[in-house]
Amino acid sequence: MDGRCTHAVLLLLCLGSCLSLTPPAQPFVRQEKASGLGSNSSKGGLSLDVPMALRVFSVDYYHVQAPFEIVLWIMLASLAKLGFHWSGRLPAVVPESCLLIMVGLLVGGVIYGVRHSAPPTLSADAFFLFLLPPIVLDAGYFLPGKLFFENLGTILWYAVLGTLWNVLGIGVCLYGVCLLASGSLGDVSLLHCLLFSSLIAAVDPVAVLSVFQEIHVNEQLHILVFGESLLNDAVTVVLYKLFESFLRLPVVTGVDVLLGGCRVLGVGLGGLGVGLFFGLVAALTSRFTSRAQVIAPLFVFLYSYLSYLTSEMLHLSGIMAIVTCAVTMKQYVEANLSERSNTSIQYFLKMWSSVSETLIFIFLGVSTIQDVHMWSWAFVCSTLLLCLLWRATGVILLTAVVNKVRRNVVTFRDQFIIAYGGLRGAICFSLVFLIDDFPKKRLFITTTIVVILFTVFVQGMTIKPLVELLEVKRRKRNLPTVSEEIHSRLLDHLLAGIEDVVGYWGQHYWKDKFEQFNQRYLCRFLIREERQARSSIVRVYQELERRDERADEEHITQLDSNLLSSLLSSMLFNSPCLFSHFLF
Amino acid sequence: MDGRCTHAVLLLLCLGSCLSLTPPAQPFVRQEKASGLGSNSSKGGLSLDVPMALRVFSVDYYHVQAPFEIVLWIMLASLAKLGFHWSGRLPAVVPESCLLIMVGLLVGGVIYGVRHSAPPTLSADAFFLFLLPPIVLDAGYFLPGKLFFENLGTILWYAVLGTLWNVLGIGVCLYGVCLLASGSLGDVSLLHCLLFSSLIAAVDPVAVLSVFQEIHVNEQLHILVFGESLLNDAVTVVLYKLFESFLRLPVVTGVDVLLGGCRVLGVGLGGLGVGLFFGLVAALTSRFTSRAQVIAPLFVFLYSYLSYLTSEMLHLSGIMAIVTCAVTMKQYVEANLSERSNTSIQYFLKMWSSVSETLIFIFLGVSTIQDVHMWSWAFVCSTLLLCLLWRATGVILLTAVVNKVRRNVVTFRDQFIIAYGGLRGAICFSLVFLIDDFPKKRLFITTTIVVILFTVFVQGMTIKPLVELLEVKRRKRNLPTVSEEIHSRLLDHLLAGIEDVVGYWGQHYWKDKFEQFNQRYLCRFLIREERQARSSIVRVYQELERRDERADEEHITQLDSNLLSSLLSSMLFNSPCLFSHFLF
């Protein structure tokens, strides 16, 4: 740790102790106005007791407590992030998520030391309603659509069957462990084990994003792991809710199990539907924002959040909804809004998700410092082992099947990274707190924390050296040129034509059909008239330019890229006919 | 009202009735987890009562109520704004604030009709902690610094003495009215009248901004009215708190009044100090964000909000603090951050303040629909008349004095617009709700609403025709060129030199001194090394370019301006020596 980093840590410590001095957080407490004589500012916890009726100086902390503490936490998170990035060398070795958890542990320790009571934990509501949506929205908005849909089958295969495999495997085996150690773990039922396994089995999108952003594996491997972590939400939510309801029922009948099966489909498709609806409405709204450009970016955030909240309200998969909403609206919104609005949307999504992610990892650390931890070597260690074991076997088995169908097979090295990259994170942490009270709840919480810390620290820190050791194919840094993109599109059209001729309706056929439908109806309806690209080459160029701009952001100085892109685009815009004539 | 507008209004009505169907708003209500058998989702107010233990479909509204309703209100506000802007002609005649209040009245009426109880009012906490800061931050960040400081003396003169004049005049006269109508208003004391006048006398920055943005008077007139509305906050806060404390004291002694006088200075200077501190810290922080550009814009919002909250906590002037913070940090932050970060900051400030403003006006309308209004022709009409009268006399008298000192005098037409532009808004509306209960509180609330609606509707709608009728000097649309700016700077230097030679230390002398100090110490300390402009011509050019870009945003197509500015700036950057040699 070099000098600059020490500075940052010291700064954080100060902030941390400042936070710890404040009374226990009671967010959203309202100051009730006292009336009557002589009561002015007598409620201020820190008010200076000047023995006088009228004060020249007074402090009223409770009045601003909720926003003040929230701002301080965000400030701590941002400064921590700033500190790591500033100190250059540290983040190259240790993943940011680990560093943030360590900061959280530190802050939690300081708060515990000063207050002699457990620091505040992140409430499940705050996590699911406020911190998770920005991250998933960001992930959905920047999802590489083409790659995702090309691999959708495999992703769903892993997400649905893989999660089921893991949940059932871990749950049943854990019950076996509990039966073996019936002395201390005898009161844990099979349903409890299944409930626990349903939350511990799911791969966490936040943790995966955070670690995989830094290791730069090839796009296909990345989308397989990340797509799985996004789509398994529907399965996890259903299984968790199902086992939770079963625990409350006096008897579980076959009908109940059947109904549960129906819900898996309903929750997933419902989330998809909600997201699609709000995405299309958002696209339509963005068509009419030309005269109120200032508030145009707002609709992107409002509609996607609304889709998430609506899904949560209807007990559907909120993650599915917000991702679908983002994917649906993206191309239309980008076409309708000005370049500056688009920049703001991208910046704001990245900023928000980055802060949320930071806060989540810091709170993971802070929440680890608790008064009562329940420990059982047998339970904790077997959970850890079972998680690794069932994930590995699951990936190997499922890939063996899927490789028979796929054109480009998932290699053994890829399989290893998929299995090893199955990180757990804040979602299971928040879910475990929501379990109804029962004697071993504390043990479940402790075990969850251990599993999360193990996957984030041990797997997260070793995955980068392993990727290098195994020589896993890396991401190509250079972006596709206009010519490459055109050739790839030509090939797609060709394949669609071949599929049509031989009568095999594969993905290229459907993609082509959807593209036609999109161009003929959706774009005409959802994109402003003056923005509808007249020739497809202009559209391709615009897309590439946008992608290019984002990627180059930190590499090339702004001025040069602006100059270049403006020059190029002005050339293209002034002579689109020339280009399209040349090409088609 | 044309067809498109009718569409928008219909849409709003739907949204409104959707809002009204929800149970009474209980923001920040937490769902408590029930445990035990058979209690799953039994708390959901809207849950479908399927007579079965396990439900395939269930609704849990309470879980998402708080964020859901907040999002719906923001959505309503944004859609209303979109509707007006879309319908082109309407906003040209009626100011947006009036339209929004009408939408609020409509929504309030619908809610009242459906629920048969008063619609939710905006709580003072929500207003002061969440809606006001973005507007004031935006105003401070885009404050034309040079113009503001050149007119600072006059602005302070109006803000401090003018407000005192109005408060005392209106308060004492109102007491006279109460004494005259002692039958119905006999229980209103002098202190009550003064408390009321202290809140009703202050010009509201939100209302002023909203109306003056549309009438385009010359910059000096604009800064005089708007600056006054910003800086009178310190006086208003102090007087309001002072009279409030006096009301609670058994006897008011001379010492208390003296202490109150001290507080005026303390509150203003305290706010200034807090703002200055956080502004410098924010500038310093932005120096180190080069490796974490994504979260860089966040610090602008965090630090300024923190300055506001800290001031509110210490009972200082939050508005002063946040404006000072924004003014202080602006030039350093803009120099340190990338162009894309700066665009995002600007966009986000505008977006946020625009939404806050919209929400405030809508809620003003909604809150007008209430169960109990207390009416007194004598009190309401005399308040209205007194407000107009004392404002007019105050402006005339104070201007007569100030014109003896100023180089370019405030003309009579300007005085009329200053007096007529003294709009009241949501600040007094929120303050009046905070008054301790006493028999005539309802009357105060009703009167405040009437005064606000009168100033916003009558004055707000007639000020534009009056400006045209009186031929008040308008804003010049063309921005200064580099050459103009250089000449104006040359003149400033010249004047500073002359002032130095003749031994008169006027504003030019101090400005020059500060500029030197800023260049030698502050910039070196607060701006990243590679961003520190080597010659002042480059800095001037950068500033102009930024200003230019903002102003042109909606007029020139993005592409052309980008091309032009990039070309120009690349020319300048590649040959700064050439330019500076040529000029100095």
Mark whether B446 and B553 lie in a shared domain. no
CATH number at residue B464: 1.20.1530.20
Yes or no, beta carbons of A292 and B81 under 8 Å apart: yes
Q: Are A569 and A579 in contact (CB under 8 A)?
A: no
Chain B CB within 8 Å of residue A437 CB? yes
Mark whether B279 and B366 lie in a shared domain. yes
Mark whether B566 and B431 lie in a shared domain. no
Q: Is residue A456 part of a domain?
A: yes
Domain that holds residue A359: 124-469
Q: Are B28 and B66 in contact (CB under 8 A)?
A: yes
Chain B CB within 8 Å of residue A404 CB? no
Q: Is residue A90 part of a domain?
A: no
Q: In a 10 Å sphere around its CB, with 0-12 CB exposed, 13-18 middle and 19+ buried, how is residue B127 labelled?
A: buried
Nearest-angstrom CA–CA distance, B269 and A149: 60
Chain B CB within 8 Å of residue A413 CB? no
Mark whether A383 and A304 lie in a shared domain. yes
Which of B46, B54, B75, B322 is the mutation pick for testing A, counting most A CBs within 10 A?
B54
Chain A CB within 8 Å of residue B347 CB? yes
Q: How far is CA B478 from the centre of its chain?
A: 26
pTM for the predicted model, two decimal places: 0.80
Chain B CB within 8 Å of residue A462 CB? no
Mark whether B569 and B445 lie in a shared domain. no
Nearest-angstrom CA–CA distance, B429 and B199: 8
- Contact residues on chain B for A11, CB-CB shorter than 8 A: none
Of A60, A315, A338, the CB nearest to B313: A60
Nearest-angstrom CA–CA distance, B466 and B567: 44
What is the torsion angle, in degrees rounded to the nearest 10, for the CA atoms of residue B454, residue B456, residue B458 and residue B460? 160
pLDDT tens-digit series, residues A431-488 = 888 888 888 888 898 999 999 999 988 998 888 888 888 888 777 656 667 777 778 7
Q: Is residue A88 part of a domain?
A: no
Nearest-angstrom CA–CA distance, B174 and B189: 10
Mark whether A463 and A542 lie in a shared domain. no
Smallest CA–CA distance from A305 into chain B, residue: B71
Q: Is residue A57 part of a domain?
A: no
The two three-digit tokens of residue B146, written as one number: 């040079």
**Degrees to nearest 5, angle at CA A86 with A82 and A87:** 125
Taking one residue from A and the other from B, the number of pairs with CB-CB distance under 8 angstroms is 250
pLDDT tens-digit series, residues A167-223 = 999 999 999 998 988 777 778 888 899 999 999 988 888 888 888 888 888 888 889
Give a three-class secondary structure readout of B39-100: CCCCCCCCCCCCCCCCCCCCCCHHHHHHHHHHHHHHHHHHHHHHHHHHCCCHHHHCCHHHHH
Looking at residue B572, its amino acid is: L
Mark whether B436 and B552 lie in a shared domain. no
Among the listed residues A250, A308, A254, A249, the one whose alpha carbon sits nearest the alpha carbon of residue A278: A308
Yes or no, beta carbons of B306 and A75 under 8 Å apart: yes
Q: Which of A445, A469, A493 is the last residue of a domain?
A: A469
Nearest-angstrom CA–CA distance, B63 and A385: 36
Chain A CB within 8 Å of residue B582 CB? no
Q: Using CB atoms and an 8 Å cut-off, which of residues 234-253 of chain A contact chain B?
A: 244-245, 248-250
Which of A5, A76, A82 is the mutation pick for testing B, counting most B CBs within 10 A?
A82
What is the radius of gyration, based on Cα positions, of chain A?
26
Q: Are A469 and A450 in contact (CB under 8 A)?
A: no
Yes or no, beta carbons of B125 and A259 under 8 Å apart: no
- Per-residue tens of pLDDT for chain B, all 584 residues: 344 444 444 444 444 444 443 433 333 333 333 333 333 333 333 333 333 445 556 788 888 888 998 999 999 989 988 888 777 677 777 888 888 999 999 999 998 888 888 787 778 888 889 999 999 999 899 888 888 888 888 898 898 889 999 999 999 999 999 998 877 777 888 889 999 999 998 888 888 888 888 888 888 888 999 899 888 877 887 888 888 888 887 777 778 778 877 777 788 889 999 999 999 999 999 888 887 788 888 999 999 999 999 998 988 889 989 999 999 999 888 888 888 888 889 888 988 888 998 999 998 888 888 777 788 888 899 999 999 999 999 999 999 998 888 878 888 888 999 999 889 988 888 888 888 888 888 889 899 999 999 998 899 888 888 888 888 877 765 666 777 777 877 888 788 888 778 877 777 777 778 888 888 888 877 887 776 655 666 666 766 666 665 554 444 333 334 444 444 444 444 433 333 333 33
- Contact residues on chain A for B33, CB-CB shorter than 8 A: 434, 436
Mark whether A155 and A281 lie in a shared domain. yes
Nearest-angstrom CA–CA distance, B377 and B73: 34
Q: Which of B469, B488, B516 is the last residue of a domain?
A: B469
Q: Using CB atoms and an 8 Å cut-off, which of residues 257-316 of chain A contact chain B?
A: 259-260, 262-263, 266, 285, 288-289, 291-295, 297-299, 302, 305-306, 309-310, 312-315
Chain A CB within 8 Å of residue B47 CB? no
Of A33, A297, A566, the CB nearest to B434: A33
Going B146 to B150 to B153 to B156, the CA torsion angle's sign is: negative
Non-local CB neighbours of A87 within 8 Å, separated by 6+ positions: A1, A2, A4, A5, A8
- Contact residues on chain A for B256, CB-CB shorter than 8 A: 53-54
Q: Which of A446, A469, A492 is the last residue of a domain?
A: A469
Say which residue the tokens 């507008």 belong to. B5
Chain B CB within 8 Å of residue A213 CB? no
- DSSP string spanning A378-400? HHHHHHHHHHHHHHHHHHHHHHH
Q: Is residue B570 part of a domain?
A: yes
Mark whether A137 and A280 lie in a shared domain. yes
Q: Is residue A242 part of a domain?
A: yes
Q: Is residue B153 part of a domain?
A: yes
Q: Is residue A160 part of a domain?
A: yes
Yes or no, beta carbons of A259 and B54 under 8 Å apart: yes
How many structural domains comprise chain B? 2
